[in-house]
Structure 1
Amino acid sequence: MTTATSSYPPLALYIDGAWTEGSGTRREPVVDPATGQVLGELPLAEPADLDAALEAADRGWRSWRDTPIETRSRILHTAARLLRERAQEIGRVMTMEQGKPLAEAAGEVQRVANLLEWDCEEARRAYGRIIPTGPGENLTVLREPIGPVAAFVPWNFPAGSPMRKIAAAVSAGCSIVIKASEEVPGTAVLITRAFHDAGLPAGVLNLVFGVPEEVSSHVIVSPVIRFVAFTGSIPVGKHLAQRAASVMKPSAMELGGHAPVIVCADADPKSAAVACARGKYANAGQVCTSPSRFFVHRSIAEEFTTALVEASEAVRVGNGLEPGVQMGPLVNARRREAVHRLVTDAREKGATVLTGGEIPDGPGYFYPPTVLVDVPADAAILSDEPFGPLAPVIVFDDLDEALRQANALPYGLAAYGFTNRADTADRLVRGFEAGILSINHTGGSVPQAPSGGYKESGYGREGGAEGLDGYLVTKRVSHRLQA
């Protein structure tokens, strides 16, 4: 395999327990977004490779589902330990191909190890139940693995997104065919290697890369696949959900968002601004739950905005491999152009850019933390998911009106509120139309609690006890004793 640096891993598909360059000749370059350097060449799957992965998943599931839970648990805990031991190595590769700072990347690997362990232990508690009946009959409910899973994940969390699908599937006793992102394949390869080295049986985990439409159209309709899991944009999610529905397959869709933040009059504007900046610029704003519309009460708006600008200008932007860098580049030129178009549109419609808003000179796809005020309601930035380091501030006078504006979009993934009053916090919790709420912080997902949206932000949950629901099927058994 061709690679540009010795620290970037060879790239391959992983099918039926073996690494392969696939049956075709198509290759796609993988580029470092901080330097523009080509890191490696990624083989793309052909239909024959996808068929091999599906056949392996079918065999793998039938063996894995009958493997004692103690054996499955031991293998998965070993994989989690290997991920922790290799977190720095995997994190470095993640930074090279996706751009986020090394500390952030290595921390992501540590978190996915925690997630794997959580799902593994939660699967040990996927209990059924006995339902009382009359004499001569036993009525029980069983929870069993649904079968082979098809999963499709994006590039913004090269470890987190794949592991959410892999951990739930293999913990529940399913096999999985996962198409990871072609822009960040090295991380997925190294995660898969950890499972391989831990002794995961052949066929349980199959990793493929390819042209997205080719892969999804081939895999989803296969009779082997029993469940479809996707993280990504709303348009693609709708397309895949329709495809799954056409063959009556359940699915889980974790789709886009445009998370509102409401900073109430009683909140501390400076501490709220610092927390908002921390959440906004994590992963350069390339997060579906990233705070992206900042509604601030008029009485504290000036103080909040001043503090937000100061916090934004203090963020050190650069190559994520350099010490002290807090925010890396955007993932590619298309993403940077999309972000800059939103800023240009807002400017043309009357918004004021207080800091940032210009494409810097030099290599890489960098874009500075950007704060905008006086943003008109018809600016695209207030309706289109920005997926970048943009922070538009909107002043409000009435909390009910702020909630109305916050809920006005079809998104319903995440929302944030800042207040020092318990009754106001309760109003926010009850008022926000979102599946993930955070009050007085902008922290991310945790393994022990469910994440997911509603409205057009999708359905199904990942994490917590609810995270295994889609990967398990409920079977009712009525057993009458013969007279």
Structure 2
Amino acid sequence: MKTLRNLIGGIWEDSRGDAFHDVVNPATEEVVARCPSGSPEDVRLAVDAAVRAQPDWAALSVAERVERLSRWADTIAAHADELAELECREMGKPVALGRAFIGGAATGFKAAVAEALEYAFEEIIPAPDGGSTTIVRAPLGVTAVIVPWNFPVPMTLGALGPLLAAGNTVVLKPSERSPMSAVRLLELMDLPPGVVNLVLGDSRAGAPLVADERVGLVHFTGSVESGRKVGERTGALLRRSILELGGKDPVVVDAGVDPVATAAAVAFGAFANSGQICTSMERVYVHRDIAEPFIEALVEAAGTYALGDGHDAGTVLGPLVDRRQRDIVARHVADAVSRGATVRAGGVVPEGRGFFYPATVLTGVDESMLVMTEETFGPIAPVAVVSSFEEGLERASASRFGLAATVYTADPAHMAAARRIPAGVVWVNQWQGGGPERLYEPAGDSGMGATGSRAAYDAATRPTSIHTAPAA
């Protein structure tokens, strides 16, 4: 069994802490690695290395940084199978699904890095006095990236690209539940020592990293509870944070759409990666005119999501990441049933090893139930029937979360009305649609800080204006 190590200043080192925990394969419950739980000394050394490396990295031309990072993206794409297999072992994601997301993430990373070539790091604006104002956007220096367990490789790449291309160095802390793929990701990296450093662990690594005054930006993806703590600490230090937190993403299904095709799309949005996606469809509001055929098709689709080890070619639905997460899912379903919901598919914890939970469809749900108000993060599709598109829109909008939302409609007026949902991203007729030009900021308890495309470069840099008046 491998004991994982930190990467500090280009050297793989043992943790200075004396606590460790097991990384468990959630499909078999077998221990697959031993991971340090982290220590302040690990963090201090990693930030030291990032501080030392940053001036030389920033001194490179933008084109040279882009070229170095693009080569890494190509290497990642070539190792997508290997990285997907590691994600499967540590958090259960089916290998085929992991491979697709990692390949897409490598492509997105390369595209995001290339945007640096067009970004206005320096802009000269004529001034009314005949002089000029030069706006220079300089890197922040050292940044921290803290990623969750559900998409360790894609989430890491999504954060790193603009930060590194802008000239920052990074200290990366992956989730203690899925550290193996992050270790391998950095083993594949060919960048100067200290440009990207890795510290492993739980809050014993995360808390001191967030609290280090030398860190100019914390890019955090995780729970609302943890995100609040990050925001409080960075706010006290007058440092930036980008927080992408929980979601309870709605989907509104209008009359006039194909109920069977839409049900298949909703099934994928609700069940993919066992519902362990920040933007999973967690609330479904379907128009009464098509509710019956839609629900029948959704139940039928749920039955095709075969449970199993993600290494098996026939597996569509892998396990949940651990027993704690499965207990949350089971509790939400039990709460809904106790309040009058009906289980139309799934809803029962399977016997045997592994933290599996079947694709589940609930009807008769309302906002008194946990499954409609709190993030479930499991393969659950709770369906509420609404009398009109307007009711669906109103109920979709009535949440403290605002990460993303999806609307299926054939009505142009309803397509335009979809923008009324307070969310960072609204997809119309295609969940996860769009390209790398997307920029967004979560609403409500789902986080803060705009990111994506040019907004990611704005967040990664600090602007200074230098005004030069005409000589006397």
Superposition TM-score, scaled by structure 2 size = 0.97
Q: Does residue 1:123 correspond to 2:116, yes or no?
A: yes
- Asked if the contact 1:352/1:373 (under 8 Å) is kept, the reply is yes
Measure, in 1, the Cα distance between the counterparts of 2:359 and 2:130. 70
Aligned position for 1:94? 87
Q: Which residue of 1 aligns with 2:18?
A: 25
Q: Please report how far the alpha carbon of residue 180 of structure 1 lies from its aligned counterpart in structure 2 after TM superposition.
A: 0.5
1:365-404 per-residue CA deviation (whole Å, 9 max, x = no partner) reads 0000000011143111111111000111101112222222
- Say whether the 8 Å CA contact 1:279–1:290 is kept in structure 2: yes
Equivalent residue number for residue 207 of structure 1 = 198
After TM superposition, give the deviation of residue 264 of structure 1 in Å. 0.7
Q: How many residues align?
A: 471
**d(CA) in 1 for partners of 2:167 and 2:438?**
21
Deviation string 1:50-73 (CA, Å, 9 cap, x unpaired) is: 111111111111111111222212
Q: 1:358 aligned to 2:348? A: yes
Structure 2 counterparts to residues 166-245 of structure 1, below 5 A: 166-195=160-189, 198=190, 200-212=191-203, 214-245=204-235
Equivalent residues of 2:92, 2:310 under 8 A apart: yes
Contact conserved, 1:445 with 1:451, CA < 8 A, in 2?
no
CA contact (8 A) 1:119 1:468 kept: no
> C-alpha distance in 1, partners of 2:454/2:101?
21
| 3-state SS, counterpart of residue 327 of structure 1 | coil
| 2:266 aligned with 1:276 | yes
Aligned position for 1:345: 335
> Does 1:249 find its partner at 2:239?
yes
Cα offset, 1:438, TM superposition: 1.1
SS at match of 2:402: coil
**Equivalent position of 2:295 in the other structure:** 305
State the Cα distance separating 1:445 from its structure 2 match: 6.9
Name the Cα RMSD after superposition.
Answer: 1.5
- SS in structure 2 of the partner of residue 141 of structure 1: strand
Q: Distance in 1 between the 2:129 and 2:412 partners?
A: 52
Cα distance in structure 2, aligned partners of 1:445 and 1:320: 28
Find out whether 1:140 has 2:134 as its counterpart.
Answer: yes
- Structure 2 match to 1:334: 324
Q: Return the alpha-carbon distance in structure 1 between the equivalents of residues 355 and 434 of structure 2.
A: 27
Deviation at 1:178, TM superposition (A): 1.5
Question: 1: distance between equivalents of 2:396 and 2:57?
Answer: 45
Seen in structure 2, the aligned counterparts of structure 1 residues 379 and 135 have a Cα distance that, compared at 3 Å, is closer
In the alignment, structure 1 segments of 5+ residues that lack a partner are 4-9
Match of residue 395, structure 1, among 381, 385, 389? 385
Cα 1:157/1:451, change in 2 over 3 Å: farther
Aligned mates of 2:154, 2:137 — CA distance in 1:
26
Of 249-258 and 104-113, deviating more is: 104-113
Amino acid at match of 1:96: R
Aligned to 2:410: 420
Partner of 1:368: 358
Identity %: 35
Letter matched to residue 413 of structure 1: L
Tell me if the contact between 1:316 and 1:326 (Cα under 8 Å) persists in the aligned partners: yes
Aligned residue in 2 for 1:465: 454
Amino acid at match of 1:154: P
Q: In structure 2, what is the equivalent of residue 437 of structure 1?
A: 426
The answer (yes or no) to whether the contact 2:62–2:166 under 8 Å persists in 1 is no
Residue pair 2:37, 2:205 contacting (<8 A) in 1 also: no
1:82 counterpart residue number: 75
- How big is each residue's C-alpha offset from its partner over 1:115-173, in whole Å with a ceiling of 9 and x where there is no partner? 22112111122213211125663311111111111221110101111222222211111
Give 1:23 shift: 1.9
Q: Distance in 2 between matches of 1:336 and 1:220?
A: 29
Structure 2: distance between partners of 1:170 and 1:474:
17
What's the CA shift for 1:313? Answer: 0.5
Kept after mapping to 2: 8 A contact 1:446/1:463: no
Alignment partner of 1:299: what SS?
A: coil
Partners in 2 of 1:446 and 1:230 — Cα distance? 22
What's the TM-score, normalizing by structure 1?
Answer: 0.94
Structure 1 match to 2:148: 154
Change (3 A) 1:445 1:91: farther
Separation of aligned partners in 1, 2:417 and 2:41: 55
What's the CA shift for 1:238? 1.1
Give, in angstroms, the shift of residue 190 of structure 1.
1.2
Partner of 2:468: 479
Asked whether the 8 Å contact 2:402–2:443 carries over to 1, the reply is yes
The equivalent residue for 1:6 is none
For residues 376 and 106 of structure 1, the distance between their equivalents in structure 2, rounded to whole angstroms, comes to: 36
